[in-house]
């Protein structure tokens, strides 16, 4: 017919016939009752497709020649269009189809089993009819209805569930929707429907969930609910600002609980416990971030900034951290494997990194290290050195050079002592003197009040002095009697023999009793010239500590006063042959000592600040006030947090000493004077 | 070393000659006559209460004085120079070096306070008494040149109610502390100076 120029007739005939046929089909589909509606539709659709295929094959010639030349719709597409117009858009079926589909989805959501096959076929039909048909006839409505469904459902859940349960439900819904899409919806719908669920179930209730009493985020953090936290993380990351809200709340919780920890007066009593708590806290959150938050960098940063914030709230943190290390290196690491030592030290380094006042830590560390080395209390040289190496990597050579100097002194002293006794073989009978020669400057500065040593000891000291100065000309030796220790052999009233491990001061006091039975406080003070505060502490530990009271005091009493008199305690007994008599020392610094250390730290900072200012100004030549302060702070922050007022004072001092000047016209501008 | 110099006695004689009350002009730290300061400024005199011959002659030349009468005529003019903003600033900064002890870098507090009371009597800075009181109570040390010169800038730029004060403004720390002191003691209340707090 096309060849005979009847193409037009053929085409319009096809349209008319097909339209008529489809109208019949529409009617029979409409007539289908209830559940069979979709089945009927599906069957007819399959028929139609087959028929359409055949028609296209038959009319292939027209399809190829007539239709392109007259720009009419090709046969197959025509068939689909006619189907769409007559069957799908038929006034009766149109809404019915939509409602049926939505009802089925709803049934499935309320846990009924539905025929997913037919659903898939029907949605496939809609997709075949064109993406816009799928969108208009189904998807838009589907999303709307879903939104409504989840709005209601989430409202119901949030009223009756705790946060953990709610999240579980939300997670399940989300998975169901994804599964639904994979079974019978267009894959492009997935993003849209999950967005709906996310918005309705999570975003709209985000804050309420996080802050939910007794089950919200803080509760989960406190109780280490890794699963719930992980769920929260995975759900909240889907919505805008979700994670940042979680992070915010977690940060403020960490800060708040950390602040309580570091400011709790109870905690301040035991520095080791204090630091242990900090470490536990750190472990706890590390684990949460690792297990539940996917090691999220932003959470790690929040953790770090929180710790940095609260550790520095307590000005004693540097001291305590050093005390913790001291404790570990004195006794805590016995029987612990080398790897565990490393782990502990690494953790301490973490805390160290948070400190703003690293120089304060250094001060204390030096003090504590000095005590450890001099009293021979350090358990492991390897651990000591390992920590120094860590500090060095963290803060540079300058930070640890003095600490290393201390180790060198110890080593050198050993050699010196060998040399000394090598030169004086006659000394092997009498008392033994062990001298540690400390380089001034490397060790914590000490007030060098030398007390009066017993005659036999001071003679020995003189011998050593001449030996040492004989081999090292040009040096000066002064005795630090406040830092030494001594081992004494003592025999008590009933012949009990003991070896007493005491400090040099205590040794001086005890030796006096070789020649006297009774000594008054005044007499002791005169004979030894030990500074009063030290003497009192020393007598306290000799006379008042149970089980260590080798001296007896009259009158009895808990304090040492100037009118006291002392006797050898003949009734002294101890199960052990060796008795170690500690000095009553405050492990923590007392208030005045703390002030003094603080002041020393401040003094030490001055030249560092000035050096930084000069360095900066030398390279910049001129710089305004605020930028200078900022740069100085930045340069120094690896050591300490420079106080702007102090920086200002240093600037003024440099102006006065003609290193800098103010610009004549802009008083905020400083110039470097070469 | 004091040959060729006019010292305290000479200044007294000079005052008699030009009929300025020597009591006023005699250098008692708290009572420096501004006139003497201005004169010294003109003469570029290095030190308080001393004019060298060279300073004296060159100073009088630049002022155009060659007789006692002309000297007397110039006195009102010299006093008026203090009213000129720029000249005041120069005289103010000159005063530091002039008043301090030779060989010292900074100015003794007593002298500084005397000079301030004198200079700010001219310049009208309402906080001057508070400032001096603050220094005596909290500082009690010598004053550096920088603090000296910045104080004038502070008096000029920051209003007497401190509304223009900026803590980040590169003021010497002593001035920062002064502001703190004022606030602590409630000297500035509702933007006004509360003078009842000034304990004399």
| CB-CB neighbours of A76 under 10 Å | 14
ipTM for the predicted complex comes to: 0.77
| Among A624, A626, A649, beta carbon nearest to B173 | A649
Element (H, E) at A567: strand A565-568
pTM of the model: 0.72
What span, in angstroms and rounded, lies between the C-alpha atoms of A113 and A90? Answer: 29
Verify whether the Cβ–Cβ distance B168 to A624 is below 8 Å.
no
User: How many beta-carbon pairs below 8 A join chains A and B?
Assistant: 32
Mean pLDDT of chain A, nearest integer: 85
Mean pLDDT of chain B, nearest integer: 74
Question: pLDDT digits over A256-307, tens only?
Answer: 999 998 888 888 888 888 999 999 999 999 999 999 998 999 999 999 999 9
- Least Cα distance to A524 among A557, A546, A551 occurs for A551
Statement: residue A446 has pLDDT above 70: no
Q: Which contacts (CB < 8 Å, 24+ apart) does range A410-414 have?
A: A410/A373, A410/A436, A412/A437, A413/A437
Nearest chain B residue (CA) to A649: B173
What span, in angstroms and rounded, lies between the C-alpha atoms of A390 and B151? Answer: 49
Name the pairing type of β-strands B192-193 and B188-189. Answer: antiparallel
Cβ within 8 Å of residue A553, ≥6 positions away: A539, A543, A544, A560, A564, A565, A566, A567
Statement: residue A251 has pLDDT above 90: yes
| CB-CB neighbours of B89 under 10 Å | 15
What is the band of B165 on the pLDDT scale with cuts at 50, 70, 90?
confident
- Which 615-644 residues of chain A touch chain B by CB within 8 A? 624-626
Question: pLDDT digits over A359-407, tens only?
Answer: 888 888 888 888 888 877 777 778 888 888 888 888 778 778 888 888 8
Verify whether the Cβ–Cβ distance B146 to A655 is below 8 Å.
yes
Q: State residue B26's pLDDT score.
A: 36
Partner A contacted by B90 (CB < 8 A): no
Tokens of B75: 């006195």
Q: To the nearest whole percent, how much of chain A has pLDDT over 70?
A: 97
What span, in angstroms and rounded, lies between the C-alpha atoms of A227 and A210? Answer: 15
Q: For A209-235, what is the mean pLDDT? A: 88
Q: State residue B24's pLDDT score.
A: 47
Question: pLDDT digits over A135-156, tens only?
Answer: 888 888 889 889 999 999 988 8
Statement: residue A14 has pLDDT above 90: no
- Least Cα distance to A361 among A394, A393, A319 occurs for A319
Nearest chain A residue (CA) to B143: A656
Verify whether the Cβ–Cβ distance A652 to B168 is below 8 Å.
no
Q: State residue A584's pLDDT score.
A: 54
Q: State residue A2's pLDDT score.
A: 67
What is the band of A552 on the pLDDT scale with cuts at 50, 70, 90?
confident
DSSP, res A657: T
Cβ within 8 Å of residue A156, ≥6 positions away: none
Statement: residue B199 has pLDDT above 70: no
Partner B contacted by A606 (CB < 8 A): no
What span, in angstroms and rounded, lies between the C-alpha atoms of A170 and A153? Answer: 10
Q: State residue B23's pLDDT score.
A: 46
Element (H, E) at A660: strand A660-662
Question: pLDDT digits over B124-152, tens only?
Answer: 788 888 888 888 888 888 888 888 888 88
């Amino acid at each position: 017919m096309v060849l005979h120029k009847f193409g037009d007739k053929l085409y319009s005939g096809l349209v008319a016939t097909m339209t008529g046929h489809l109208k019949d089909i529409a009617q029979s589909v409409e007539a289908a009752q209830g559940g069979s509606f979709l089945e009927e539709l599906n069957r007819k659709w399959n028929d139609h497709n087959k028929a359409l295929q055949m028609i296209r094959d038959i009319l292939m010639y027209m399809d190829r020649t007539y239709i392109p030349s007259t720009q009419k719709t090709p046969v197959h597409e025509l068939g689909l269009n006619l189907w769409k117009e007559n069957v799908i858009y038929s006034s009766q079926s149109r809404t019915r189809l939509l409602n049926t589909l939505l009802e089925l989805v709803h049934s499935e959501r309320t846990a009924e089993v539905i025929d997913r096959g037919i659903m898939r076929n029907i949605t496939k039909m809609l997709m075949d009819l064109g993406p816009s048909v799928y969108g208009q006839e189904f998807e838009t409505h589907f999303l709307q209805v879903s939104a409504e469904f989840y709005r209601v459902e989430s409202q119901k859940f949030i009223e009756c569930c705790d946060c953990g349960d709610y999240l579980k439900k939300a997670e399940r819904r989300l998975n169901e929707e994804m599964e639904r899409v994979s079974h019978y919806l267009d894959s492009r719908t997935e993003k849209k429907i999950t967005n709906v669920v996310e918005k309705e179930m999570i975003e709209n209730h985000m804050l309420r969930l996080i802050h939910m009493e007794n089950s919200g985020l803080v509760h989960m953090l406190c109780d280490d609910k890794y699963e719930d936290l992980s769920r929260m993380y995975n759900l909240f990351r889907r919505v805008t600002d979700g994670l940042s809200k979680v992070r915010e709340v977690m940060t403020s919780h960490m800060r708040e609980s950390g602040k309580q920890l570091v400011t709790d007066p109870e905690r301040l009593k035991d520095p080791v416990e204090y630091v242990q708590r900090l470490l536990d806290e750190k472990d706890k959150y590390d684990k949460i971030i690792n297990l539940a938050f996917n090691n999220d960098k932003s959470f790690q940063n929040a953790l770090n900034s929180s710790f940095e914030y609260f550790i520095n709230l307590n000005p004693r943190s540097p001291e305590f951290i050093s005390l913790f290390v001291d404790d570990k290196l004195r006794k805590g690491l016995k029987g612990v494997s080398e790897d565990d030592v490393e782990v502990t030290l690494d953790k301490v380094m973490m805390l160290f990194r948070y400190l703003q006042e690293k120089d304060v830590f250094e001060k204390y560390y030096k003090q504590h290290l000095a005590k450890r080395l001099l009293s021979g209390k350090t358990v492991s040289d390897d651990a000591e050195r390992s920590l120094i190496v860590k500090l060095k990597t963290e803060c540079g050579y300058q930070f640890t050079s003095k600490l290393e100097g201390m180790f060198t002194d110890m080593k050198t002293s050993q050699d010196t002592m060998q040399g000394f006794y090598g030169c004086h073989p006659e000394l092997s009978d009498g008392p033994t003197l062990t001298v540690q020669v400390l380089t001034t400057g490397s060790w914590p500065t000490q007030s060098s009040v030398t007390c009066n040593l017993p005659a036999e000891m001071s003679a020995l000291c003189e011998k050593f002095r001449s030996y040492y100065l004989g081999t090292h000309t040009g040096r000066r030796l002064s005795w630090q009697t406040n830092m030494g220790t001594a081992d004494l052999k003592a025999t008590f009233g009933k012949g009990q023999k003991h070896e007493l491990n005491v400090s040099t001061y205590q040794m001086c006091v005890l030796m006096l009793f070789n020649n006297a039975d009774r000594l008054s406080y005044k007499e002791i003070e005169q004979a030894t010239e030990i500074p009063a505060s030290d003497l009192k502490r020393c007598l306290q530990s000799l006379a008042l500590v149970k089980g260590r009271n080798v001296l007896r005091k009259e009158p009895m009493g808990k304090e040492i006063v100037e009118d006291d008199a002392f006797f050898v305690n003949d009734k002294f007994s101890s199960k052990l042959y060796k008795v170690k008599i500690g000095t009553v020392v405050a492990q923590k610094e007392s208030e005045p000592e703390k002030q003094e250390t603080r002041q020393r730290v401040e003094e030490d900072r001055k030249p560092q600040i000035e050096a930084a200012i000069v360095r900066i100004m030398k390279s910049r030549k001129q710089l305004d006030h605020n930028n200078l302060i900022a740069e100085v702070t930045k340069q120094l922050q690896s050591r300490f947090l420079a106080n702007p007022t102090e920086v200002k004072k240093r600037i003024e001092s440099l102006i006065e000493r003609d290193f800098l000047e103010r610009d004549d016209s802009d008083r905020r501008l400083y110039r470097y004077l070469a | 070393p004091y040959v060729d110099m006019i010292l305290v006695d000479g200044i007294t004689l000079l005052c008699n000659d030009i009929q300025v009350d020597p009591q006023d002009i005699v250098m008692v730290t708290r009572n420096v006559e501004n006139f003497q300061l201005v004169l010294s400024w003109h003469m570029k005199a290095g030190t308080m209460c001393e004019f060298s011959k060279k300073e004296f002659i060159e100073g009088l030349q630049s002022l155009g004085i060659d007789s006692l009468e002309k000297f007397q005529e110039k006195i009102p003019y010299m006093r008026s120079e203090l009213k000129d903003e720029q000249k005041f600033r120069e005289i103010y900064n000159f005063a530091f070096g002039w008043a301090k002890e030779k060989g010292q870098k900074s100015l003794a507090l007593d002298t500084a306070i005397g000079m301030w009371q004198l200079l700010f009597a001219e310049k009208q800075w309402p906080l001057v008494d508070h400032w001096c009181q603050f220094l005596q109570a909290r500082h009690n040390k010598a004053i550096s040149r920088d603090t000296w010169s910045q104080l004038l800038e502070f008096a000029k730029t920051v209003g007497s109610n401190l509304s223009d004060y900026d803590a980040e403004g590169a003021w010497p720390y002593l001035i920062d502390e002064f502001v703190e002191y004022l606030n602590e003691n409630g000297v500035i209340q509702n933007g006004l100076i509360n003078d009842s707090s000034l304990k004399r």
